[in-house]
């Protein structure tokens, strides 16, 4: 569904992504892991066109997405730190995004309901806690029934119940044949929802495997141990 | 695009600065028309104040607005909207709001106290100056991500066009006073939108008789319909050049 070819991206002299080539298939949950500054967020931003790659290509369903915008209709994005216009109310943000993306499709309001956002509709974005902003981000990402979901550390800052709701939603969407990309540092969570693990280190792909194969290769029961073994084994 | 402009305008109107700006211009205009005896005198004083304050307020307001809208822009960039469209909507929203403030604050008093062709030129010039300095503000804002630096660049631009440039022109005229400089002066005028606007209005007042040979040359060139169209054409170029440049930078920027 998504093909990335020889993607390179640098900010000034700092090379963030070095020749990354990847393939993601529909109906899978892929977890992107790696140390801080490995290029996880940048990879997502390139996919969204927020950061423009220096070279390489990204294709969604066979078509290059570089310098295009209509393809973003198919992507739901939940940023790591949601930043919203401070003096807009929750209701206004949601209504605005809906107004702008009016394509006559069904609007998925499940998360808005599950998170009880209507009760807080009149609160200003600037007055919200980090976790509540995350809930708004999550609701917006899932709202337009996109084929691809890009969730950047979705559960960081969410309380356990809300995180559980989100995981349930992720699995539900996966069953509908969507591709879900999640960056995360929490291994237990990765193990719970993901099918595949993609590990980035210093802007290069360290490995991209299914969880079952990872465990098999390392003879470990738990994913965190398996990954630790691979990382230490090659160092 | 209309939808995004609507949200930009909504955000600006809510900040109330634009209303203060309108009231300031309104007080200034009504005051000046009532102080001087003839409407022409009022227009002249108004011209000088408008050419000093409108660029300053437009450029500072637009720069701070752009930086304050970063979150809004980030939110929109992740949606299926062309970046250039987001940028132009932001620009038009700010330029429309400031122009509307100017039209109410200066346009209405001019209509009431000094309705004449000169008055129309003054109002048109003010609107053009607003569009030009908002474009420059956006250029300053896309060059750097640092808000303090961006406002610094914006203020430098204002300083240059409103004050320093005239100093440079005077210096050149003084130094090369022995040479015929009429055409050079004309060219130098075209290189500063503030001067261009000033001369457009001045030529329609009687004071242009006081400007000597250069004034006569201005009158012979800019006094005709052709010359006036040329001057407004140049003002349009002054809007488009910084705007398109800024749009180009914005569409290739990492957000």
- Domains identified in chain A and CATH numbers: 2-234 (3.40.50.300)
pLDDT of residue A104: 60
Interface test with A, best of B75, B145, B250 (most A CBs within 10 A): B75
Residues in chain B with CB shorter than 8 Å from the CB of A11 are: 254
Sequence-distant contacts of A163-169: CB under 8 A, at least 24 apart = A163/A189, A165/A111, A165/A114, A165/A115, A166/A111, A166/A138, A167/A192, A167/A193, A169/A110, A169/A111, A169/A114, A169/A138, A169/A142
Please judge whether B80 and A83 are an interchain contact, meaning their C-beta atoms are less than 8 angstroms apart: no
Among chain A residues, CA nearest to B251: A67
Q: Nearest Cβ partner of B7 from A72, A79, A96? A: A96
Of A11, A71, A84, the CB nearest to B75: A84
Question: Is the Cβ of B5 closer than 8 Å to some Cβ of chain A?
Answer: no
Q: Which of B93, B254, B255 to mutate to test the interface with A (most CBs of A within 10 A)?
A: B254
Minimal Cα–Cα distance from B247 to chain A, Å?
Answer: 14
Q: Which positions in chain B touch A75 (Cβ < 8 Å)?
A: 78
* Residue range A19-23: mean pLDDT, rounded: 92
With CB atoms and an 8 Å threshold, state whether B254 touches A50. yes
Length of chain B in terms of residues written = 255
Give the list of residues 6+ apart from residue A45 with CB closer than 8 angstroms, or none: A51, B254, B255
- C-alpha radius of gyration, chain A, whole number: 18
Residues near A159 by Cβ (< 8 Å), separated by ≥ 6? Answer: A131
pLDDT tens for A76-98 read: 999 888 888 888 899 999 988 88
pLDDT digit string (tens) for A128-183?
A: 998 999 999 999 999 988 999 999 998 888 999 999 999 999 999 999 999 999 99
DSSP per residue over B23-82, as a string?
HHHHHHHHHHHHHSSSHHHHHHHHHHHHHHHHHHHHHHHHHHHHHHTHHHHHHHHTSSS-
What single DSSP character describes residue B116? S
Q: Inter-chain contact B252–A52, Cβ cutoff 8 Å?
A: yes
ipTM associated with this complex: 0.85
pLDDT at A171: 92
pTM of the shown model: 0.89
- The rounded mean pLDDT for chain A is 89
When CB atoms are compared, the residue of B3, B7, B79 closest to A72 is B79
**What are residue A2's phi and psi, to 5 degrees?**
-120, 130
pLDDT (tens place) for every residue of chain B, 255 residues total: 788 899 899 889 888 899 999 999 999 999 998 886 788 888 888 998 999 999 999 999 999 999 999 888 988 998 889 999 999 999 999 999 999 999 999 999 999 987 888 889 899 999 999 999 999 999 999 999 999 999 999 999 999 998 899 889 888 888 988 888 777 888 888 899 998 888 888 877 766 556 666 667 777 777 778 888 888 999 999 999 999 999 999 998 888
């Amino acid at each position: 569904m998504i093909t990335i070819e020889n993607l390179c991206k640098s900010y000034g002299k700092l090379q963030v992504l070095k020749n990354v080539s990847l393939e993601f298939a529909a109906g899978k949950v892929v977890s992107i892991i790696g140390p801080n500054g490995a290029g996880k967020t940048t990879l997502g931003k390139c996919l969204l066109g927020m950061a423009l790659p220096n070279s390489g290509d990204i294709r969604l369903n066979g078509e290059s997405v570089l310098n295009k915008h209509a393809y973003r209709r198919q992507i739901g994005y939940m940023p790591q730190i949601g930043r919203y216009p401070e003096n807009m109310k929750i209701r206004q943000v949601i209504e605005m995004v809906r107004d702008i993306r009016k394509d006559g499709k069904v609007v998925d309001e499940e998360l808005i309901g599950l998170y009880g956002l209507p009760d807080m509709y009149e609160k200003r974005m600037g007055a919200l806690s980090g976790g509540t902003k995350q809930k708004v981000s999550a609701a917006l990402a899932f709202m337009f029934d996109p084929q691809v979901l890009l969730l950047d550390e979705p559960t960081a800052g969410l309380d356990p119940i809300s995180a559980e709701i989100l995981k349930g939603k992720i699995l539900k969407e996966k069953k509908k044949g969507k591709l879900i990309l999640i960056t995360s540092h929490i291994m237990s969570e990765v193990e719970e929802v993901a099918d595949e693990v993609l590990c980035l280190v210093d802007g290069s792909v360290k490995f991209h495997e299914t969880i079952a194969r990872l465990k098999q290769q390392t003879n470990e029961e738990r994913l965190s141990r398996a990954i630790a073994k691979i990382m230490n084994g090659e160092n | 695009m209309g939808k995004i402009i609507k949200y930009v305008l909504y955000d600006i109107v809510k900040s109330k600065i634009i209303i203060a700006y309108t009231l300031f211009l309104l007080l200034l205009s009504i005051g000046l028309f009532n102080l001087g005896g003839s409407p022409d005198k009022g227009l002249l004083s108004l011209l000088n104040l408008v050419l000093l304050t409108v660029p300053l307020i437009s450029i500072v307001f637009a720069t701070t607005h752009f930086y304050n809208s970063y979150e809004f822009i980030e939110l929109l960039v992740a949606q299926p909207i062309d970046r250039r469209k987001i940028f132009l909507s932001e620009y038009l929203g700010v330029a429309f709001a400031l122009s509307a403030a100017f039209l109410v604050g200066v346009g209405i008093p001019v209509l009431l106290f000094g309705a004449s062709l000169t008055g129309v030129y003054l109002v048109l010039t003010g609107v053009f100056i607003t569009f030009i300095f908002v474009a420059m503000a956006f250029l300053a804002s896309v060059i750097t991500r640092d808000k303090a630096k961006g406002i610094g660049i914006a203020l430098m631009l204002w300083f240059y066009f409103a004050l320093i440039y005239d100093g440079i022109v005077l210096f050149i005229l003084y130094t090369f006073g022995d040479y015929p400089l009429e055409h050079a002066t004309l060219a130098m005028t075209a290189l500063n939108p503030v001067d261009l606007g000033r001369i457009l209005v001045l030529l329609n007042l009687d004071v242009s008789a006081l400007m000597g040979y250069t004034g006569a040359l201005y009158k012979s060139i800019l006094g005709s319909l052709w010359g006036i169209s040329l001057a407004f054409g140049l003002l349009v170029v002054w809007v488009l050049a910084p705007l398109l440049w800024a749009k180009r930078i914005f569409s290739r920027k990492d957000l």
